[in-house]
Structure 1
């Protein structure tokens, strides 16, 4: 791979200056081999996402320094053995995100803003600092955290907690919390919850990691993931030695037969409120999924990430309640209270429970006792239910504000997935495309957005803008202002 010292137009490979930076320690040749290996192991339909991830990481880590000129799309495609269109899409997407910059006839370069931010801080938290408007999904309103009630509970619990309770805890979790959570989940989510089989963990990410290791010990080597779905699942389960296999969705859930054709015995699913599409799996599709799991002696890993927030529909119970020996149920307080608490739970089939407990013990010796005691008391005294009611009312108002603002500034926008959760899907009219140009203009104006394409492999060729827009973490006035700013940025306000 080469980096041109002249203009990186598509004829740069013939310019005679193509090898100027080949020997630089931070130049592309120092990491091209890693890209080759990475793309060679990736399924054909995932190579675009893999290439984008590799480019992002190269910029973040400094292997691609700010100001580095990248190869032309033709050169990079030839070096990696992929289509030029795949590289062009990657360059355009990362330019929209601010990692790269480009100009007509001047080539593609590593941007300054991302590297400058990386030099200032090593904070790896998933945030969008500096955005004038932030519609990236995944975060509740942290200002709604019940500080006064939590502080009062903290003092009360600390005063009565016996000294012996501050020793090494049961790796499954504090008995009081497991009992309180079992009752809460049975009442609110319809799960079959035995406190003896409930494991307290540090959020769904750790629950999925524990399951990944346990399943690997049972001979499982691959796992099916919803497409579209959460990109984090591939990384989390991959770290446990499981190969991700993407499975398509339709309007009712996972496409029938997709899991069977793939050969996997385990799938991760979000049946109550699919992420990010917002659909609830139909009753028929739930039955089909469980029938499949039984037929292959497999499991469904159910991520109930925001099941407590619904607005315009009847409650949708957890899949685990239909077959607790085929479904491992995961949840947390990350969306309902605050992700920084790092408290979640896992209800697993009996045959996996002992391995999970032992892996949890060797991983971290259990979660902090005081925080567990606090949450147990908060749940038992009704504070958790009161907090959820307050949040649900606030989030419904914000959802309505967002849909109204889109209707005003982007007339003709189709919204879906709005009956529950903390985000919506917005499909803008054709006149707002193409999506890459729209995202680039939004980024230049300081509007943080996440396209639907970020979450899956589907790339419709209609050029329309498809957005996953989070609203819970913003006030109604900020939502209205942000949509107006977006409209002006794309020339429609």
Structure 2
């Protein structure tokens, strides 16, 4: 019998044990099993036991055996019973100082303000419309939609995603030249891609430096050797890439994380030429590119050469990472390798896939993005103004797009110490060095504004200022 969600002890395992001839009667053994379950805290205080008739039927005993066992435990104080109410556990373990467990380490202070990057505004998740989409597909899904899912994703969502990427991101998602798969997010799609590349004989992959650490980890977990390549104001330095043994590269062309740079047109063309020259591939991470505030979002580079560029995307930065829904657009020539190397890759739940397809097809996704862009632009402006007033020594960059900005700090600033001091005060920050392959002399913080309310920005920046001040060494008094 384990305590169910209704607090009824119907499924807690009772070890009644074999009969001991002449020594213990059946109701005594049942009482002992229940007593042990209570003392082991498998039946917690307040848990309701089954009615005697129901438990007798479940165990194959007479009702008298159960009522006798219950009566014995009521007399001993383990159970309590009232007329018209269930029999409940009334005993709790001794928590006196002599028997209390050793004290735990002090808990970390709760995070009051979140300025770390990587999350959208979770408060603004479109709950009603998402629930409407789930309700609609639950009622309309045909019976075979509820069977074993297609490992590449439901055809309805694959079609919808292809159409969305063509019209909004400038992708080439025509069936003849590419394959569109549904995955659990960018990391999942990247692992699948790297496995396929490894099977095709590609053992080395380049990554942007600085860059998102999970992408490096995903490539390493798939068995590839990772080579960091620096990023400058025009994006990935393709000449440096050409000096590595890599035949694949992971790049954020439309909005690089964390620098916020856009891969320049010349570098885009050079990168495609590089892929052709080395018989390799570009893996494009379309990271939060929907949020651009100075002009229309920059198109993906996958449309320049769909035979050489993989495109990865998800709704983690636009809706919520909790949905676990993303897509992988791959060159058609790589489809067999993707299938062969990801035989046990699980597609997201089918009803969630159909809900996302409905959410996009009905125009709700576009409406959500429009509202989010307005909200994030206003919040970005507030954060930049507040930083200018309270942290004047900092220089703000990477403000044109996305859900984060860079705060460059003077040489010698202790950003690592500031992150720790801020965490102790309830503020989550990210050190720019955390996204580099090696520490750099350039000091900076990556400040996300997606998952913080407008009203929380001023007190959050005030805590940031205090954290920075607390790490500045104080001058020693003059010995004279």
* TM-score calculated relative to the size of structure 1: 0.71
Is 1:388 aligned with 2:366? no
Question: Could you tell me which residue of structure 2 aligns to residue 454 of structure 1?
Answer: 434
Question: Could you tell me which residue of structure 1 aligns to residue 42 of structure 2?
Answer: none
Is 1:445 aligned with 2:425? yes
Q: How does 1:66-77 map to 2 (within 5 A)?
A: none
SS of residue in 2 equivalent to 1:391: helix
> Which among 305, 328, 346 is matched to residue 287 of structure 2?
305
Structure 1: which 5+ residue stretches go unaligned? 1-112, 118-127
What's the CA shift for 1:356?
1.4
Aligned mates of 2:204, 2:237 — CA distance in 1: 18
**Can you list the C-alpha shifts for 1:251-278, whole angstroms capped at 9, x where unaligned?**
1111132122111100000010001100
What's the CA shift for 1:287?
0.8
Question: Could you tell me which residue of structure 2 aligns to residue 294 of structure 1?
Answer: 276
Aligned mates of 1:419, 1:264 — CA distance in 2: 31
> Is this contact kept in 2: 1:452–1:466, CA < 8 A?
yes
Question: Could you tell me which residue of structure 1 aligns to residue 323 of structure 2?
Answer: 341
Aligned mates of 1:161, 1:238 — CA distance in 2: 39
- Which has the higher Rg, Structure 1 or Structure 2? 2
SS of residue in 2 equivalent to 1:153: helix
Q: CA RMSD in A?
A: 2.1
**Can you list the C-alpha shifts for 1:376-429, whole angstroms capped at 9, x where unaligned?**
111111011011111111111111111011011011421111111000001134
Question: Could you tell me which residue of structure 1 aligns to residue 350 of structure 2?
Answer: 369
Structure with the higher fraction of residues in helix conformation: 1
> Is this contact kept in 2: 1:445–1:486, CA < 8 A?
no
**Can you list the C-alpha shifts for 1:157-185, whole angstroms capped at 9, x where unaligned?**
11111111111122221111111111100
Aligned mates of 1:423, 1:180 — CA distance in 2: 29
**Can you list the C-alpha shifts for 1:241-298, whole angstroms capped at 9, x where unaligned?**
1111111111111113212211110000001000110000100011111111110000
> Which among 376, 396, 411 is matched to residue 415 of structure 1?
396
Aligned mates of 2:333, 2:106 — CA distance in 1: 50
Aligned mates of 1:242, 1:115 — CA distance in 2: 39
Question: Could you tell me which residue of structure 1 aligns to residue 247 of structure 2?
Answer: 265
Question: Could you tell me which residue of structure 1 aligns to residue 210 of structure 2?
Answer: 228
Q: How does 1:235-274 map to 2 (within 5 A)?
A: 235-274=217-256
Q: How does 1:68-217 map to 2 (within 5 A)?
A: 130-195=110-175, 197-217=179-199
Question: Could you tell me which residue of structure 1 aligns to residue 297 of structure 2?
Answer: 315
User: Relative to structure 1, is the Cα distance of residues 226 and 489 closer, same or farther in structure 2, using a 3 angstrom cutoff?
Assistant: closer
**Pairs aligned (count):** 366
Is 1:470 aligned with 2:448? yes
Structure 2: which 5+ residue stretches go unaligned? 1-102, 471-480
> Is this contact kept in 1: 2:229–2:237, CA < 8 A?
yes
Aligned mates of 1:458, 1:145 — CA distance in 2: 36
Question: Could you tell me which residue of structure 2 aligns to residue 406 of structure 1?
Answer: 387
User: Relative to structure 1, is the Cα distance of residues 301 and 379 closer, same or farther in structure 2, using a 3 angstrom cutoff?
Assistant: same
> Is this contact kept in 1: 2:415–2:445, CA < 8 A?
no
Aligned mates of 1:179, 1:129 — CA distance in 2: 46
